[in-house]
């Protein structure tokens, strides 16, 4: 069996930046263990498997303005191309403020003694969001080095599976980021995710209310870095847009 495979750097227009993901094009479904084996071989935080459910679907370059619907384990994902960007339609997940004492151990493990302005939890996604104080500059966020083993030892009662650390941006400086973040997922074997679309469904829900904006530009400050354009829709959903670069194309032979 030969499977076309690509490595795509998402949320960037530069190779070796953004979020690297493997994309495998399948003619038919595989056994469950084969998906896991291929993902392990790709050795990236995400591997996507695409199967064309309708033989009449046209994914050619002449049809780039159409909306493509992906059936995922999280529900239907609507994707379309808009100019040089790819736009994804997500549900919006607004977090709820919680007391700092309630999660003091995990906050301490994440940011140490840095000042914290607010802590919020999104129960739906089990994402805990820690907002650094506005007195912090971006170097405080980029210098954080939370130990994944320490995070995993903190007992959160199963309420936390993802940790988001964020701070207000510099909209007055070019390119004018509204907020910054770094995202940690040791519970899924990923100490830090380079750029995380799903995390921004929570971050956008929070910062939209704080900033009074429906359109925002966000930057995830991992070592690779990535830029996300966010727009809240009237139907309560969120558009996340970003550019992407294909850095590898080949054939996986099984």
Write phi, then psi, for 158 (nearest 5 degrees): 75, 10
Look at the block and give the residue holding tokens 């207000």.
Answer: 168
Nearest to 244, CA basis, from 21, 2, 93: 21
Handedness of CA 21, 26, 32, 33 (dihedral sign): negative
Catalytic residue among 46, 192, 227, 229: 46
Task: Assess whether 231 carries a catalytic annotation.
Answer: no
Give, as one character, the DSSP assignment of residue 65: T
Tokens of 149: 């083993």
Q: Say how far apart CA 240 and CA 217 lie, in whole Å.
A: 10
Contact 129, 94 (CB under 8 A): no
Tokens of 33: 């263990």
Look at the block and give the residue holding tokens 């994804």.
Answer: 88
Continuous segment of H or E residues that includes residue 39: helix 32-42
Q: Say how far apart CA 217 and CA 199 lie, in whole Å.
A: 14
Tokens of 1: 């069996």
The residues annotated as belonging to the active site are 46
């Amino acid at each position: 069996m030969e499977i076309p495979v690509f490595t795509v750097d998402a949320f960037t227009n530069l190779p070796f930046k953004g979020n690297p993901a493997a994309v495998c094009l399948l003619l038919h479904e595989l056994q469950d263990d084969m998906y896991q084996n291929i993902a392990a071989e790709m050795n990236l935080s995400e591997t996507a498997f695409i199967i064309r459910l309708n033989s009449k679907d046209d994914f050619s370059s002449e049809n780039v303005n159409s909306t493509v619907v992906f059936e995922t384990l999280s529900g239907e994902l609507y994707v379309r191309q808009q100019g040089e960007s790819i736009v994804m339609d997500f549900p919006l997940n607004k977090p709820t403020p919680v007391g700092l004492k309630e999660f003091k151990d995990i906050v301490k493990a994440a940011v140490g003694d840095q000042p914290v302005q607010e802590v919020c939890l999104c129960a739906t996604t089990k994402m805990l969001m820690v907002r650094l104080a506005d007195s912090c500059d971006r170097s405080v966020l980029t210098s954080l080095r939370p130990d994944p083993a320490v995070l995993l030892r903190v007992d959160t009662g199963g309420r936390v599976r993802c940790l988001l650390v964020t701070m207000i941006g510099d909209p007055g400086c070019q390119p004018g980021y509204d907020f910054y973040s770094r995202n940690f997922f040791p519970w899924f074997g990923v100490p830090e995710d380079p750029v995380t679309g799903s995390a921004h469904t929570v971050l956008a829900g929070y910062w939209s209310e704080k900033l009074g904006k429906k359109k925002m530009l966000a930057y995830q400050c991992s070592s690779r870095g990535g830029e996300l354009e966010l727009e809240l829709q009237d139907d309560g959903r969120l558009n996340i847009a970003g550019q992407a670069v294909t850095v590898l194309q080949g054939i996986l032979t099984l």
